[in-house]
Structure 1
Amino acid sequence: MKVQELRKLLGNAEREHLEKAFVECYKQLRKGQKEEIDSILTMMLEGKAIEQKSVEAPVNFEELEQQIIVFIDNAYAQNYFAPNRTIPKSQRPKWRFMVKNFMKELSKIPLDSNHYERAVKLLTDLYCLICEACNTYLFSTEDPFRSIGWEQPDFFKLLVTKTFANGYSRKNISQLLRYATTGGLSRESLHIQQEMILLSGLRTSDVKYVAIEEAKKLVEEGVGKLASLKKYSSSQYYMNEAVNELCGMIFLITIALAEPESGMEYYFAHSREGDNEITLYCALQLADWVGGDDLWIKVYEYGLSKKIKPRNSLKEEYAIRLGSLKAQD
């Protein structure tokens, strides 16, 4: 609504309702946004005049790009974490503010800018860096995403939006498939969250079919690499996990296309879970994310047709959902 409409609405509201609405709106802000607005709120409530911010001078993209490249190189070298002669000790904790500023400036670059593609590339590099920092100590924090004031799904959504704003291509679809299904996770995130965001970014059926093709290529690539990896090694574990996530992504896309049967068959045929019952369990979890009881039951019964013996909790859940579905009929 417009400011004038908001003023009118506030003028007619009771104090109790105003306070409740204000607090609820404040809760919706991210940590970084709260930090920016706190001083303004304090001044207003104290009856002080708000200082008008001066217009910021446009950032030189070449300089910004170089700053980000140097920052990323230093971060991967752990110069913001371990003692070194490159980054002074007093400057190391400031990495989070640097990332916030980098993201802010990169987000401002319009689609019609000559620098747009390079800006998206830098944004991608920053996302990959923060993901890696979730697996390896690159900064003094247990949750790098939280430290920069961003939830991982929100950062990934920004990346998907910026990437696809410039058009779809097999290259960028494949790239985002890889980022959605692999890489480090914050303490409050799961790959499925990034996968659902990517799924929502695949706007047309044609693009979804391309995504399925690219995901299958990545699965084949991953399976091919497994042969050269040492059995029971961490590399083998992560590769199996990546293949499983990609198979799950294919299943999700086929559900969105109203063709769950093909995705279901592919998932059960290519999943790298060591036990078929676990494969069924994971498939049912995916079905819960995007479908109703009818899809869940279809997946369960497909598992039975494959001679899979579900755990007792799944049998009980099946009976409940089947009964609920029959009651609706």
Structure 2
Amino acid sequence: MKIAELRTIVKGHQKKDLEFLVAELYKLIPKNKKEDNQIDELITKPVKEKKVSKANKAIRTIEEISGEVKLFHNNAINQNYLYPNSHVPKKDRSKWRFLVKRLVKEINLAAQNGNSRRRCAEELQVLYETLCYACAYQTFTAYDPFESVGISQIEFFDQMIKYHRDSMDYKEFIDKGIKLIFNNELSRYTLYSGLMETFINYCQTPNMKEVAIERTKKLWDSTNKNKTKKTSWRNSDFEKIDTLNNYSVLIFRLSLQLSEYETAIEEFKAKYIEIDKEIVLNIYISILFTYQLKDIILKELQTAKSDGIEIRPSLVQLLKHIQKHNQLPDYI
């Protein structure tokens, strides 16, 4: 039913029928949707206030915005949007997502109007890291904080590091980008690979990629001071191994961008901590697939097969498809 048709139908209803209809429709709306769309406020005051035109609305400076960003961060970390407290009124606790949306918009406007890109990046980073924190710790009544704000973690990450790239020399940017990838929690819908590729897109030159590889290798070495064996899967080692493997994947992706295929694969095999060679094979073949490196994939699968590695059915099918059609399938 179209809106025009809906309006025509409800005009013919009596008041008691409309009251019943509104109540029944309200029951059907999930609680989080009521909060997201401010349904209670709309019912209380159905006539929208006249919006102030953009021309008349003053654009705040980044200095003016930063105080509100800091206040939001402190309230979020202290769970003031979650539990009763004297800092955030009850009626405002579910509105945190609209506050974040507004602050992000204002920071972007400030950047477009000549404010320091570095300061804008820093304020966006505070908001980003606050939402990342909420992905791991109970901070808001939300399933996923980024989804609640209406922007994916990767999109938010992209906005933030763009300003960092604009305001930093490339070595400082590389260190900042790597830390932002790995030092923050992931949302339920985010993979490290998405953040890595976003970061790599801003490493536009071969020199930047080489420096990023060098920096990540140093992080890998410093994390692995007390050498971790591939057979070691004690609980105390699990987080460390996960970190080392994520570094390995970033190094691999950057090396592929430099077309250093053989070196990239050999280093990945040496650094990735996993005793099962077939699992390692599956991981790097999947990454090679994202770069559409058909000939390299064919060679690696044939080599693995001749080496006696029992590869999984999906990779067997991939090998057969390449041999038969001389091209990659749409997906693995």
In structure 1, the residue corresponding to 2:311 is in which secondary structure? Answer: coil
Residues 212-264 of structure 1: CA deviation (Å, up to 9, x unaligned)? 1111122123323787xx9643x643332222122111111111111122221
Question: 1:89 aligned to 2:95?
Answer: no
Could you tell me how far 1:326 is from its partner in structure 2? Answer: 8.3
**8 Å CA contact 2:81, 2:139 repeated in 1:** yes
Question: 1:59 aligned to 2:60?
Answer: yes
Q: Which residue is equivalent to 1:317?
A: 318
Could you tell me how far 1:295 is from its partner in structure 2? Answer: 2.7
Q: Which residue is equivalent to 1:291?
A: 292
**8 Å CA contact 2:61, 2:115 repeated in 1:** no
Measure the CA separation in 2 of the matches of 1:280 and 1:246. Answer: 17
Change (3 A) 1:171 1:144: same
Q: Which residue is equivalent to 1:30?
A: none
Structure 1 portions without partners, runs of 5+? 1-34, 36-48
Change (3 A) 1:231 1:245: closer
Q: How many residues are aligned here?
A: 278
**8 Å CA contact 1:111, 1:166 repeated in 2:** no
Q: Which residue is equivalent to 1:80?
A: 81
**8 Å CA contact 2:206, 2:258 repeated in 1:** yes
Higher-Rg structure is 2
Measure the CA separation in 2 of the matches of 1:205 and 1:257. Answer: 7
Measure the CA separation in 2 of the matches of 1:300 and 1:104. Answer: 48
Q: Which residue is equivalent to 2:41?
A: none
**8 Å CA contact 1:182, 1:191 repeated in 2:** no
Q: Which residue is equivalent to 1:25?
A: none
Question: What are the equivalent positions in structure 2 for 1:97-116 lying under 5 Å apart?
Answer: 97-110=98-111, 113=114, 115-116=116-117
Cα RMSD, aligned residues only: 3.0
Matched residue type, 1:279: V
Moved more, 272-281 or 296-305: 296-305
Change (3 A) 1:92 1:201: same
**8 Å CA contact 1:264, 1:299 repeated in 2:** no
In structure 2, the residue corresponding to 1:224 is in which secondary structure? Answer: coil
Could you tell me how far 1:162 is from its partner in structure 2? Answer: 1.3
Change (3 A) 1:298 1:113: farther
In structure 1, the residue corresponding to 2:225 is in which secondary structure? Answer: helix
Measure the CA separation in 1 of the matches of 2:324 and 2:102. Answer: 54
Question: What are the equivalent positions in structure 2 for 1:249-288 lying under 5 Å apart?
Answer: 249-288=250-289
Identity of aligned residues (%): 27
Question: What are the equivalent positions in structure 2 for 1:99-248 lying under 5 Å apart?
Answer: 99-110=100-111, 113=114, 115-181=116-182, 183-224=184-225, 232-233=234-235, 236-248=237-249
**8 Å CA contact 2:82, 2:140 repeated in 1:** yes
Measure the CA separation in 1 of the matches of 2:246 and 2:323. Answer: 28
**8 Å CA contact 1:168, 1:207 repeated in 2:** no
In structure 1, the residue corresponding to 2:189 is in which secondary structure? Answer: coil
In structure 2, the residue corresponding to 1:171 is in which secondary structure? Answer: helix
Normalised to the residue count of structure 2, the TM-score between the two structures is 0.74
**8 Å CA contact 1:132, 1:183 repeated in 2:** yes
Could you tell me how far 1:113 is from its partner in structure 2? Answer: 4.7
Measure the CA separation in 1 of the matches of 2:260 and 2:58. Answer: 51
Could you tell me how far 1:145 is from its partner in structure 2? Answer: 0.6
Change (3 A) 1:231 1:278: closer
Residues 113-168 of structure 1: CA deviation (Å, up to 9, x unaligned)? 56331221121121122122112221110111111110122111112211112244
Measure the CA separation in 2 of the matches of 1:109 and 1:303. Answer: 54
Q: Which residue is equivalent to 1:43?
A: none
Residues 12-51 of structure 1: CA deviation (Å, up to 9, x unaligned)? xxxxxxxxxxxxxxxxxxxxxxx8xxxxxxxxxxxxx998
Q: Which residue is equivalent to 2:7?
A: none
Could you tell me how far 1:83 is from its partner in structure 2? Answer: 2.9
**8 Å CA contact 1:251, 1:264 repeated in 2:** yes
In structure 2, the residue corresponding to 1:109 is in which secondary structure? Answer: helix
**8 Å CA contact 1:181, 1:194 repeated in 2:** no
